[in-house]
């Protein structure tokens, strides 16, 4: 049994389907294969612009997923209403801009405390776990605790995009320190964004990180190797390096 968990984001299967606005490939089928390959949760992001995941996907995934459904979402009134209706196991609150290619930057929890705290309370009351997607920054970590979230997801995008060893190490160290601090104040920690087969292993070694959420690299690798093999290969990397995460 591996301890470090893997959540696979199936948004990009839907991106491919939406290229033809048809029924294939179906993220619901992809989720089943990811689960059979051994992942621990399925992640999907119902964006306000519905560029990939559609409402139907979320409702069907809720019925078919056997592991855990982690719904990424922005705090728009419409999406909050859908989340409360679907009741995923967990919501991960993310910032969302229409013009972005993917989620850029973490949530500004300290700058939007009242709104976030209010919504965290609503989800918890409905029996839905809450994770806040934030930069590895002390102020945002403290604000996440104050907002009542059980989990944070540390944004690994800057680490993934860092050019050169020095910068990469600097960004990795921020994630390491942020994890340590978050755990010390009672938060549980996940991490994700931009992680792939070459850069995930140093993150696996960070003590305190419970789950990696990975989408693009796994779905991309699946084009060449098949989805089951792509998920298994990532799990294999995680299993090797997590040994140092205890």
Contacts to ligand PXP by CB under 6 A:
9, 11, 45, 72, 92, 94, 102-103, 133, 153, 192-195, 213-217
CB of 16 or CB of 246, closer to ligand PXP: 16
- What's the per-residue H, E or C state across 114-164? HHHHHHHHHHHHCCCEEEEEECCCHHHHHHHHHHCCCEEEEECHHHHHCCC
Shortest approach of ligand PXP to residue 94 CB, angstroms? 5
Among residues 72, 96, 135, 211, the one annotated as catalytic is 72
Shortest approach of ligand PXP to residue 191 CB, angstroms? 8
CB of 1 or CB of 130, closer to ligand PXP: 130
Shortest approach of ligand PXP to residue 214 CB, angstroms? 4
Q: Is 45 a catalytic residue?
A: yes
Among residues 35, 52, 193, 242, the one annotated as catalytic is 193
Q: How far is CA 207 from the centre of its chain?
A: 18
Q: Is 12 a catalytic residue?
A: no
Q: Which residues contact 20 (CB under 8 A, 6 or more apart)?
A: none
Residue number of the CB atom closest to ligand PXP = 215
Among residues 45, 96, 135, 171, the one annotated as catalytic is 45
Task: Give the catalytic positions in this structure.
Answer: 45, 72, 193
């Amino acid at each position: 049994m591996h301890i470090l968990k893997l959540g696979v984001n199936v948004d990009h299967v839907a991106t491919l389907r939406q290229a033809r606005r048809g029924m294939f490939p179906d993220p619901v089928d992809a989720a089943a294969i990811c689960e059979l390959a051994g992942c621990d949760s399925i992640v999907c992001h119902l964006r306000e612009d519905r560029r990939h995941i559609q409402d139907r996907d979320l409702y069907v995934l809720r019925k078919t997923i056997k592991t855990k459904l982690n719904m990424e979402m922005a705090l728009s009134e419409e999406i909050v209403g859908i989340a409360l209706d679907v009741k995923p196991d967990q919501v991960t609150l993310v910032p969302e801009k229409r013009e972005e290619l993917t989620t850029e930057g973490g949530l500004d929890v300290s700058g939007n405390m009242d709104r976030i705290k209010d919504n965290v309370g609503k989800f918890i009351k409905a029996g839905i776990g809450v994770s806040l997607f934030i930069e590895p920054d002390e102020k945002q970590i403290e604000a996440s605790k104050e907002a009542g979230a059980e989990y944070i997801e540390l944004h690994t995008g800057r680490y993934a995009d860092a050019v050169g060893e020095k910068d990469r190490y600097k960004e990795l160290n921020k994630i390491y320190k942020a994890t340590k601090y978050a755990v010390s104040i009672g938060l549980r920690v996940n991490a994700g964004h931009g992680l792939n087969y070459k850069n995930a292993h140093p993150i696996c070694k960070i003590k305190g990180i419970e789950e990696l959420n990975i989408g693009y690299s796994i779905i991309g690798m699946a084009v060449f190797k098949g989805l089951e093999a792509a998920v298994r290969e990532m799990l294999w990397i995680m299993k090797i390096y997590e040994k140092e995460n205890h």
